[in-house]
Amino acid sequence: MVKKKPSYWLMKSEPDAYSIETLEKEKETIWDGIRNYQARNFMRQMEIGDQAFFYHSNCKPPGIVGLMEIVGKNIIDPTQFDKNSKYYDSKSNKSNPRWDCVKVQFLIKSKEIISLQELRSLFNEEELLVVKKGNRLSILPVLEKSANLLISKFN
């Protein structure tokens, strides 16, 4: 059986909510709290072994701070049922949940942030969707060619 090449993703988190340092310490986490259907659908396309760039958003400067691997998929997001969670969804029910998530594992922290400004100098909108002005999605696919260039910057 031929093993498929991993697909690549970019996953955003505000460092005050969940940071690369937290993931490095915890080693693994579920990527919960996604409440955008397009971002959720991207997550549903992920396969175990895919890799995702960890992107710190809503900070100065925003940018890629590490790399993680998808180690679990099709996990029901528990926050949708927690009335005390800001991600609670009263319209979701346990027999037919709306939201699911993946489990990620820490791989590497970049020595320096690859800032959005630097990403814009390296890529156009077709090569890396995060550089598109106004793009607010928290999960985005990354082309293999773009991923290879980004991974080379980690060394």
Which fold would CATH assign to domain 8-152? Answer: ph1033 like fold (3.10.590)
Q: What is the pLDDT of residue 1?
A: 60
Mean pLDDT, 10 residues at a time, over the chain (155 residues)? 79 97 98 96 96 97 97 97 96 94 97 95 93 90 96 87
What digits encode the pLDDT tens for the residues 106-119? Answer: 999 999 999 999 99
What residue segments make up the domains of the chain, in order of their start?
Answer: 8-152
Q: What is the pLDDT of residue 155?
A: 72
Q: What is the pLDDT of residue 6?
A: 78
Three-state SS letters, the chain? CCCCCCCEEEEEECCCCCCHHHHHHHCEEECCCCCCHHHHHHHHHCCCCCEEEEEECCCCCCEEEEEEEEEEEEEECHHHHCCCCCCCCCCCECCECCCEEEEEEEEEEEEEEEEHHHHHHHCCCCCCHHHCCCCCCCEEEECHHHHHHHHHCCC
Q: What is the pLDDT of residue 3?
A: 59
